[in-house]
Amino acid sequence: MDKMLWEPKRRIEAAFRKNLLNIAREIIKQVGNITDTDVITEILRQISKSREFEKFSESAAMKMVTHLFDDQGHTWRQATAANGKGGSFYAALQAELRGYTGRLLMDQVKRNAEIIKTLPLDISIDVTTYISQETAKGRRASEIAKEIKLKFPEQTKARAKLIARTEVSKTQSQLTESRCRMFNINWYVWRPVGGSKGDGRTRKSHRGMADVLVAWDDAPAPEDLFPQVSKITGKRYRNSLGHYHAGCCPNCRCYAEPVIDLDLFTWPMQAYRNGSIQRINRKAFEKII
């Protein structure tokens, strides 16, 4: 089976990011040439509360979530067809939308819409901080207004990128988890994008988690398993991320590959159990699943 099968599609992330940028661009347009920070804050506050913006956010979130859902449905069918369970899985997939997964999808849409709704407020903070700083330097209001239009798309771009990357991975991981639970698949393999060693941008702790078996009921704390030591103080960085599954922390592009067929893996594997990563052979793993 194709290893990349479970990797979230970049085009879904790209489409979501584009959507967020369009929303942000519209928001910045509303500010126009105003440089009175109180007025700007008020305008953006009104936008964030408007019914129209709420609809906008929900539709962008809905598009992303259903896009992932459809794409994953395809992946599950491919993966399960390979081990002869295609028919029953397909029927189950049809049924799931009417039940638990339908609700989970709506939860994901709501969660993502809430995140999009923070955009006007974020932009408002960025814009008003910038105006205050520049005004304190004695710069002219008209100059500052011009700059905001040029400069702000950059910061907003960065924010949209972070939201798109983080939320697409997280939503994907949660969809995978819910489907796994439906089929009683309790384990997955943690995969970084770009293979076992990552793609050069994968953080050290997630490279450490590469190809490790993880149980859905027992999320690891990668920063505790692979601590980063400060070059200056020689001390370990505090782990502020806690326990989480593949794809479920900011900027993470890792994903979960469900353990559907043990033949597809090369044994022995590494497994996360009882707070540490241990080597496990196929026989021992069969006993615990």
DSSP 87-150: HHHHHHHHHHTTTHHHHHHHHHHHHHHHHHTTHHHHHHHHHHHHHHHHHHTT--HHHHHHHHHH
Is residue 252 close enough to count as binding Zn ion by CB under 5 A? yes
**Sequence-distant (≥ 6) Cβ neighbours of residue 62 within 8 angstroms:** 109, 113
Number of residues that bind Zn ion (CB under 5 A): 3
Is residue 254 close enough to count as binding Zn ion by CB under 5 A? yes
- Greatest Cα pair distance, the chain, in angstroms, is 73
**Which CB sits closer to Zn ion, 60 or 252?**
252
Residues in 32-51 at the binding interface with Zn ion, rule: CB under 5 A: none
Report whether the peptide linkage leading into residue 222 is cis, meaning its omega lies within 30 degrees of zero: no
Output the smallest distance, CB 192 to Zn ion, in A: 6
Between CA 64 and CA 45 the distance in angstroms is 25
Output the smallest distance, CB 33 to Zn ion, in A: 42
Selected range binding Zn ion among 66-74, 99-107, 253-261, 274-282, rule: CB under 5 A: 253-261
Residues in 183-212 at the binding interface with Zn ion, rule: CB under 5 A: 206
**Which CB sits closer to Zn ion, 61 or 254?**
254
Place of tokens 């893996």: 265
**Which CB sits closer to Zn ion, 90 or 226?**
226
**Which CB sits closer to Zn ion, 5 or 95?**
5
Between CA 69 and CA 60 the distance in angstroms is 14
Element (H, E) at 214: strand 212-215
Output the smallest distance, CB 34 to Zn ion, in A: 41
DSSP-assigned beta bridge partners for residue 240: none
Selected range binding Zn ion among 5-13, 32-40, 178-186, 251-259, rule: CB under 5 A: 251-259
Output the smallest distance, CB 289 to Zn ion, in A: 24
Output the smallest distance, CB 118 to Zn ion, in A: 23
Is residue 119 close enough to count as binding Zn ion by CB under 5 A? no
**Sequence-distant (≥ 6) Cβ neighbours of residue 77 within 8 angstroms:** 86, 89, 90, 93
Between CA 269 and CA 177 the distance in angstroms is 21
Output the smallest distance, CB 203 to Zn ion, in A: 6
**Mask of contacts with Zn ion, 83-112, x by CB under 5 A?**
------------------------------
Output the smallest distance, CB 63 to Zn ion, in A: 24
What tokens does 63 get? 């598009």
| Interacting residues toward Zn ion by CB under 5 A | 206, 252, 254
